Amino acid sequence: MSDIYRDGTYFARHPTLHEEDSGFKFEGVVEFLDLLQFRDRKIRLVDVGGGAGRLGFLVADYLHDRGCEIEFAALDLSDQMLALQKKNNPYIKKTLNMSLIECEKSGFDLALMMDVVEHIPRKHEAAEKADSMSEYIIYNIPVEINFFDVLKNLYMHGRYYRLQKKSLGHVHFFSYLSCRRFIKRHHELIRCKFVGYCRHILSSDAPNHVRLRNNRLMALELQLSLWIWKHLRPLAPYLIQGTAFILVKTNAKTDH
């Protein structure tokens, strides 16, 4: 990851750290949590680049309510973000202020890699590191190479993805197929599903989502995307903006 995370630039640009999307992401992964087969009820969980920490809390709380004893670590480049995560997630007992690639910790049962890998320049090395440190990983990878985004990039003469890189810090852009290939290269794929953003953005009262809906062209795209999501679901991953929620099994061993 670049220095925008350590020097506070990313936090300044995105002061909510996308907390408004936590419920959407939790709905995307909650079914995965019921598929996990832990060796005992005490589980070690690490949240990599956990943003505002709200999603990590929802995951930990869900597992806790099902009888699990949670040992939670948060890993992030930014001490500001770690402080906010600790505030929003009382399950956090340990913070690791470092990059994923630098981390020497292992023996985790579950790693959350939610909206993370697209920010990491050495993505393959990061995936291999995650594979060695946790038995299961849940990914959330935005699908940004799709019909509508490619069309916007053409209309903007190639500037669309450059602007995404500058504003969001994304250094990799995935299609639905390329993110599946990336995952299969490094892990054992258990479950993968695509969910469009359109329904979430159209129903959210978050200020940034309201601004999107107030843009006439974006509002049209969202309505078209919603129609595709409802009526052409198998084609949606290739046509509209959305995200891939992915559950994988790794080669890592846990000791309890």
162 inside domain: yes
**Interaxial angle between packed helices 54-65 and 22-33, expressed in degrees from 0 to 180 and rounded to the nearest 10:** 30
Could you list the residue range(s) of the whole structural domain that residue 63 is in?
9-249
* Cα 194 from Cα 176, distance rounded (Å): 8
116 inside domain: yes
> What string of pLDDT tens digits covers the 256 residues of the chain?
447 898 889 988 999 999 999 999 999 999 999 999 998 999 999 999 999 999 999 999 999 999 999 999 999 999 999 999 999 999 999 999 999 999 999 999 999 999 999 999 999 999 999 999 999 999 999 999 999 999 999 999 999 999 999 989 999 999 999 999 999 999 999 999 999 999 999 999 999 999 999 999 999 999 999 999 999 999 999 999 999 999 999 987 666 5
1 inside domain: no
Backbone phi, then psi, for 195, in 5-degree steps?
A: -130, 125
2 inside domain: no
Domain CATH for 125: 3.40.50.150
71 inside domain: yes
* Cα 229 from Cα 236, distance rounded (Å): 6
255 inside domain: no
Task: Read off the pTM.
Answer: 0.94
3 inside domain: no
Q: What tens digit of pLDDT does each residue of 60-79 get? A: 999 999 999 999 999 999 99
Query: In the numeric block, which tokens belong to residue 87?
Result: 């505030």
Nearest in space to 20 (alpha carbons), one of 204, 238, 199: 204
34 inside domain: yes
Of the CA atoms within 13 Å of residue 218, those in its CB half-sphere come to 13
Q: How far is CA 126 from CA 27, 51, 113, 182, in A?
A: 25, 18, 10, 12
Q: What is the number of domains present in the chain? A: 1
End-to-end CA distance of the chain: 32
